Amino acid sequence: MAVQLSASIILSTLGVLVASDNISNKHMVKSSSDSGVCFYGATAERVLNILATGKFITVEHAVRKPKDCSDLDPHHDLSGVYRIYPNTGNGFKVYCDMKTDGGRWTVLIRRMDGSQDFNKKWIEYENGFGNLNREFWLGDALAPTHNGMRFTTSDQDNDNWNKNCALHGKKVGGWWFNACDSACFTLSYANNKKGLTGENVIQWSTWKDSQFSLKYAVMMIRRI
């Protein structure tokens, strides 16, 4: 009878499978407990067979070509960088948050340490920039409008003010400005310390009325 391991068995025995290549005398393994993990019955026989032959199955994600992070399984897939395929083609990499509120979030923008300069032109926001494991702007985040506001950068003024909000004061980041903003995640990162006014730092003034830079800020989307 052909033996086919289920995904749950593969996952539960992964530590044994990875270690099996390092066992020099596989023929001397008499029990699955020799590996430090105990199995019984049919499962034990399968594990012993794998240890003896060195053959194992590579664990893959639940969906081989996810359209976005919503297709991932929060029970098996960890937060990290994944390649998604929203359309035909080679796809592109995104960061998936698999912990917050049930997971499966595609992260559009993240600020966490001030490592990334967000003083960029329109084309750079359109293409995306940064380190997906730290601070970044995902190119697909550049929606034409957000809450009725159009996106503005230092070289493309689309806001509702008679000047360019991206150039007002010390502002340097692109955003869906009105005239100008009460929340903006692309401005200066000040490590949550005083020094810059709320008009020049990562802020959400209608939430906390803070004159400090937000220490951590993300925008994420998930299919319902």
Token code pair at residue 81: 């960088």
How does pLDDT run across 186-195, given as a tens digit for each residue?
988 876 555 5
CA distances from 84 to 8, 58, 68, 88, 194 (A): 24, 20, 5, 10, 40
| Lowest-pLDDT range of 21-25, 111-115, 117-121, 198-202 | 21-25
The answer to whether residue 35 scores a pLDDT higher than 70 is: no
pTM over 0.75: no
The answer to whether residue 81 scores a pLDDT higher than 60 is: yes
β-pair partners for 221: 106
Q: Domain segments of the chain: what residues?
A: 7-53, 69-221
Token code pair at residue 192: 């949550």
Which CATH superfamily does the domain covering 69-221 fall into?
A: Gamma Fibrinogen, chain A, domain 1 (3.90.215.10)
The answer to whether residue 112 scores a pLDDT higher than 90 is: yes
The answer to whether residue 4 scores a pLDDT higher than 90 is: no
Please list, in sequence order, all residues whose beta carbon lies within 8 angstroms of the beta carbon of residue 53, skipping any fewer than 6 positions away.
26
